Chain A
Amino acid sequence: MAAYEKLVRQYDRQVFRIANHIVQNREDAEDVVQDAFLKAYEKLNQFQGNSKFYTWLVRIAVNEALMRLRKRRTGRMVSIDEDVETDEGSMPRDLADWSPDPEALYGQSEMADILRKTIQGLPPGFRVVFVLRDVEGLSTEETAESLGLSIPAVKSRLLRARLQLRERLSRYFKRRDLKQAQDGAK
């Protein structure tokens, strides 16, 4: 048990972040964290060591989070394949360059709100790939394994997620002189 407690302490913050990104609800995220670590403990004898423990744990946590989303939207299946056929973000529309220091444009809490709201607007299938690859730093292979996706599917979704986020953030971060010029021309 002491050894497992060490694992819990090592990965709890990451699992909490991933859970929040998927369920977008603090209480549900807390439940997901508990359920994920409990399930991992129950299945420890099934962990064969042919992947990293963390990758295996993330897979459990993602599944728990998606099940919790499903429970909340009664009767509606939730999967990471929802809405991934969208074309949004495929062709960058907003070509304006950004302010050299976008983070200086907003206070810390306002910035956090912008980032949360923007990433929450992504389809779950893109959001979870972006979170695992770019935020949590899993490799493409680890992300594919955690989500039960092929490597090409991870790469495709990651690209789309990055471009959609970029497109959506442009309205907040574009250079102010360009924005003012554009607004004046309207």
Chain B
Amino acid sequence: MLDQDAAIPLRADLEQHLRECEHCEITLSTTRKTIQIYRSHELYELPDDLRERLHKAILAKCRKC
């Protein structure tokens, strides 16, 4: 359901179950939110000054190859 991977008949069965089962509906919706939250938060940003420093170091090492 989360990855739009389920075949149509299975998907229909799952959707029916979700209408009737609060436990599964909550599990699905909170799992979906989990993914969405991690997708939308940049936990390890690469600051510009570090980015330039890394580039210089990488290219300097590559030129020595």
Interface size on B, residues (CB 8 A): 28
A148 CB, nearest partner CB in chain B, Å: 21
Q: B7 near A: Cβ within 8 Å?
A: no
Q: Which of B26, B34, B41, B65 contacts A95 (CB 8 A)?
A: B26
CA of A17 to CA of B39 in the docked complex: distance in angstroms? 12
In the assembled complex, the Cα of A169 lies from the Cα of B65 at a distance in Å of 46
Q: Decide yes or no whether A177 CB sits under 8 A from chain B.
A: no
Q: Of B34, B39, B62, which is within 8 A of A166 by CB? A: B34
Q: Residues of B contacting A163 with CB < 8 Å? A: 27, 31
- A56 CB within 8 Å of chain B: no
Interface size on A, residues (CB 8 A): 41
Contact status A34-B37, CB under 8 Å: no
- B61 CB contact (under 8 Å) in A38, A96, A135: A38
B interface, CB within 8 angstroms of A: 2, 23, 26-27, 29-31, 33-35, 37-39, 41, 43-44, 46, 50-51, 54-55, 57-59, 61-63, 65
Contact, CB under 8 Å: A5 / B30 = no
Q: Which residues of A contact B (CB under 8 A)?
A: 1, 4-5, 8-9, 12-13, 16-17, 20-21, 29-30, 33-34, 37-38, 41-42, 92, 95-98, 102-103, 111-112, 115-116, 119, 130, 134-135, 162-163, 165-166, 169-170, 173
Question: A38 to chain B: which residues have CB within 8 Å?
Answer: 58, 61-62, 65
Interface SS of chain A: helix, strand, loop or mixed? helix
Contact indicator A34/B26 (Cβ below 8 Å): no
CB neighbours of A97 from chain B (8 A): 26, 29-30
Give B32 Cβ to nearest chain A Cβ, in Å. 9
